[in-house]
């Protein structure tokens, strides 16, 4: 694989272009890795009462809808966000995933999943009491994404 870097001053925003003969598994992995790296370290504007916070995305366990409001959950706190869930899906890096009609989870914080065949499965997080439910429609996709992340970690090691 040939790697070329071209510096173009005057760009309004960083842009990475991948040119390839065909789209294969290695190119997709490269794209995902670049996306993860460029999105890591970002903050999101959240609110609690009259205060605004710039919260690192790494601290967010999940986002959920409750009473027409979107809440961002950390291990110990809850904050309001002005975004809708569908907007968050577009804004958040790849390690966030929708797992039900009302929830987006940070895959990096999942500690365990208790599968329930007849209803929603339960996701737990390390070091806190919070739990979320994964609807049956999203369960297989969640397991596939977690498996993909596990495989990517093996390649990185």
In this predicted model, what pLDDT tens digit does every residue of 43-68 receive, in sequence order? 899 999 999 999 999 999 999 999 99
Separation CA 78–CA 41 (nearest Å)? 20
In this predicted model, what pLDDT tens digit does every residue of 123-149 receive, in sequence order? 999 989 999 999 999 999 999 999 888
Contact at 8 Å (CB) between 133 and 112? no
Contact at 8 Å (CB) between 100 and 120? yes
Contact at 8 Å (CB) between 55 and 72? yes
Is residue 47 in a domain?
A: yes
What CATH number is given to the structural domain containing 102?
Answer: 2.40.50.1020
Is residue 80 in a domain?
A: yes
Stated length of the chain: 157
The pLDDT, as a whole number, for residue 96 is: 95
Give the tokens for residue 3: 């790697």
Percent of the chain with pLDDT over 90: 55
Is residue 72 in a domain?
A: yes
The counts of H helices and E strands in the chain are 3, 10
Separation CA 58–CA 8 (nearest Å)? 31
In this predicted model, what pLDDT tens digit does every residue of 81-96 receive, in sequence order? 999 999 999 889 889 9
Give the tokens for residue 76: 């110990």
**Structural domain that includes position 94:** 42-156
Separation CA 44–CA 81 (nearest Å)? 9
The pLDDT, as a whole number, for residue 103 is: 97
Contact at 8 Å (CB) between 101 and 135? yes
This prediction's pTM: 0.73
Is residue 8 in a domain?
A: no
Output phi, psi for 149, to 5 deg.
-65, -40
Is residue 57 in a domain?
A: yes
Is residue 29 in a domain?
A: no
Number of domains into which the chain is organized: 1
Is residue 13 in a domain?
A: no
Is residue 129 in a domain?
A: yes
């Amino acid at each position: 694989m040939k790697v070329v870097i071209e510096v173009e001053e005057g760009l309004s925003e960083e842009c990475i272009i991948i040119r390839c003969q065909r789209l294969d598994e290695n190119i997709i992995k490269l794209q995902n890795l670049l996306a993860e790296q460029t999105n890591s370290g970002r903050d999101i504007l959240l609110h609690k009462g009259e205060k605004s916070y710039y919260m690192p995305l790494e601290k967010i366990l999940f986002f959920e809808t409750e009473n027409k409001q979107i809440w961002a959950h950390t291990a110990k706190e809850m904050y309001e966000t002005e975004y809708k869930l569908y907007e968050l899906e577009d804004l958040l890096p790849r390690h966030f995933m929708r797992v039900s009609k009302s929830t987006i989870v940070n895959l990096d914080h999942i500690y365990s999943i208790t599968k329930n065949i007849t209803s929603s499965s339960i996701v737990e997080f390390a070091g806190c009491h919070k739990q979320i439910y994964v609807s049956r429609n999203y369960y297989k996709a969640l397991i596939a994404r977690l498996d993909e992340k596990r495989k990517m970690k093996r390649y990185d090691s």
